[in-house]
Amino acid sequence: MERQRTTHLQNELLVASLVALAGFALYLRTLVPGLLGGDSGEFQTLTYLLGHTHPTGYPVYLFLAHPFQHLPIRDGAYRANAFSALMGGITLGALYLAARTLTRHRGLAFTLTIAFALSPTFWSQALIAEVYTPAAAFFTAILALLLHWERTRTTSFLLAAGFLGGWSLGVHMTVALLAPAVLLLLWGKARQPRPWAMAAGAAILGLLMTLALFWWIDARQSPADYFRLVVEPSASAWGLSPQDVDEPWERLRFHWTAQQFRPYMLQFHPLPEQARWYFRHLPQELGWPILGLALWGFVALARHHSLRAAFLGLALLTQWLFTLTYTIWDLYVFLIPGYILIVLLAAAGADALVHRGVILQVPQMGVVLLLVLLLLAGSLQHAPRVRHAITQGGPPSFPFEEYPTYDARLPERVRPLIADLPSGAILLTDWDMLWPYAYIAYVEMDRRDVRFIETRPRDDRPEIAGSLIHYIRSHLSDHPVFISTRDRELREKGFRLIPTRVGGARLYKITRRTSE
């Protein structure tokens, strides 16, 4: 029996590997091919240079993505994007394995995985340097391991899930939203203290490795670093001074308390509106057949496997509670874990329908084939996007306002500016251009004598931080200081902005008005 189970697992791992490889190939074929602005530009820069990112900090992501920067393919920006494609494929392989624990039919698990692979939000994130696809890979792998442990009681699955849980905090901290459901599953399946201790020990080990990677990155003193470019100059925007973030543990606290994003969390007043948007948006992502199967799957599990129903249901409810009370501008990317859970419930629903068909003496393969066709029909809405992207060999058009726009000419515009900046120059700019400047200067041109500062790092506080005003004044005497836009607030603070051309681009040199 044990040998048969091992052979079955090996076969499923082989299928999952093929699914992962096919997904990787799809995402690589449609990959965004170069440098981007905003968060993606940040990750393209920092996977190469290994500096601190924006909160909540992603040291494990940087550690895993960094080896891609040594591949002999194209440039660093492309390689960072390609890492997301790889993690997208791994997510699909793990999703297939998780779905197989909930359905006895390989074709159903495979079809559901394909439907998720083509969903717009997940596909969009698998094409750019971002943390949401790696986070989805960790999230799905943990689910697959826990579901296999729940079914087989194999200790190694629980240990691996615990380790990935602790390590995932360095990829994206929202993976921790699984914790209540995990505790419920342990309570239902492991009444003895030993499994709890083993799971906790593995999670602590993963957490310690995350902390070690944070300290390793902190010690590197990278020229491109969120604290150097954003936090220290504008520390007063958070009620801090530069001295409040000059120690590693202070920087860790700033990251893990999510000071950048706390004003947007647990905002219950927009909950009804966000919930209406979410449920209207769901069919565009997964299609009505999956949603119907997911509802039926929860009912079927509640009747026959109540612990699995409670585990998946609580995990989904926790995701909804967090995302639907989060008023962040790119909320749609935080919905990916919920989509994964819905697909798993759909796997259970499809299996229950096949079982019901057998009871009613309908041929099993007939029911499976009918469900596969139904699921494929639900994915037909993505067919034009799939066909165009594959034939053209580039990213599809996604209906997300916050999705980064790729401009192939961006490096060509930035390089002359960086080359023409005087030695020791400081350039104030917005978040979208901060990282393309840093990438070209530090990765491509090795111009570590220039520095870039984000002018307004807090969207909920649009004024320029008092500490940044002080920073500008203290550096004007020994550094040429520029800003990328004619900023009215700086003029009101007593500065003069002199239009000047740098590398063909219009900048404004900042001087003291009284000195003119």
At residue 516, the pLDDT reads 43
Q: How far is CA 494 from CA 470, 474, 481, 513, in A?
A: 12, 14, 15, 6
Are 418 and 506 spatial neighbours (Cβ–Cβ below 8 Å)?
no
| Cα 402 from Cα 334, distance rounded (Å) | 13
Extract the tokens encoding 273: 């509106």
SS (H, E, C) 122-140: HHHHCCCCCCHHHHHHHHH
Alpha-carbon distance of 302 to 61, in angstroms, equals 36
CA dihedral 378, 383, 389, 391 (to 10 degrees): 140
Burial zone of 462 (CB within 10 Å; 0-12 exposed, 13-18 middle, 19+ buried): exposed
Only one residue has tokens 């120690």, namely 247
Using a pLDDT cut of 90, give the percent of the chain over it. Answer: 79
CB 85, CB 127: distance < 8 Å: yes
Q: Which two tokens stand for residue 377?
A: 């029909």
Specify the pLDDT at position 358. 59
Q: What is the pLDDT of residues 14-43, one digit of tens each?
A: 999 999 999 999 999 999 999 999 999 999
The model's pLDDT over 139-181, given as tens digits with 9 standing for 90+, comes to 999 999 999 999 988 999 999 999 999 999 999 999 999 999 9
The percent of residues above 70 in pLDDT, for the chain, comes to: 97
Alpha carbon dihedral 313, 314, 318, 321, in 10-degree steps, equals 70
Give residue-wise pLDDT tens across range 362-395: 677 888 888 898 888 888 888 888 888 888 888 8
285, 121 Cβ separation under 8 angstroms: yes
Residue 463: half-sphere exposure toward Cβ, Cα within 13 Å? 9
Cβ–Cβ under 8 Å, residues 300 and 352: yes
Task: Encode pLDDT of 224-267 as tens digits.
Answer: 999 999 999 999 999 998 889 999 999 999 999 988 888 898 89
Confidence of residue 290 (pLDDT cuts 50, 70, 90): very high
- pLDDT surpasses 80 at 206: yes
**Mean of all residue pLDDT scores within the chain:** 93
| Sign of the torsion formed by the C-alpha atoms of 244, 250, 252 and 258 | negative
Residue showing tokens 């001074």: 241
Q: Is the pLDDT of residue 110 over 70?
A: yes
Residue 299, Cβ density class (10 Å: 0-12 exposed, 13-18 middle, ≥19 buried): middle
Cβ-based neighbours of 353, under 8 Å, separated by 6 or more: 293, 296, 367, 371
pLDDT for 515: 46
Eight-state DSSP code of residue 496: E
Between 359 and 67, the higher pLDDT residue: 67
pLDDT of 408 higher than 70: yes
Tell the burial category of 73 from Cβ atoms under 10 Å away from its Cβ (0-12, 13-18, 19+): exposed
50-94: per-residue pLDDT in tens?
999 999 999 999 999 999 999 999 999 999 999 999 999 999 999
Q: Where are the beta strands (DSSP E) in 404-457?
A: 426-429, 451-454
Which of 209-218, 354-363, 413-422 is the least confident region? 354-363
Looking at residue 404, the DSSP 8-state letter turns out to be P
Quote the CA–CA distance of 371 and 373 in Å, as a whole number. Answer: 5
pLDDT band at 209 (very low <50, low <70, confident <90, very high): very high
Sheet hosting strand 426-429, strand order edge to edge: 451-454, 426-429, 481-483, 505-512, 495-502
At residue 361 the predicted structure's pLDDT band, cuts being 50, 70 and 90, is: low
- The predicted model gives 452-480 an average pLDDT of 93
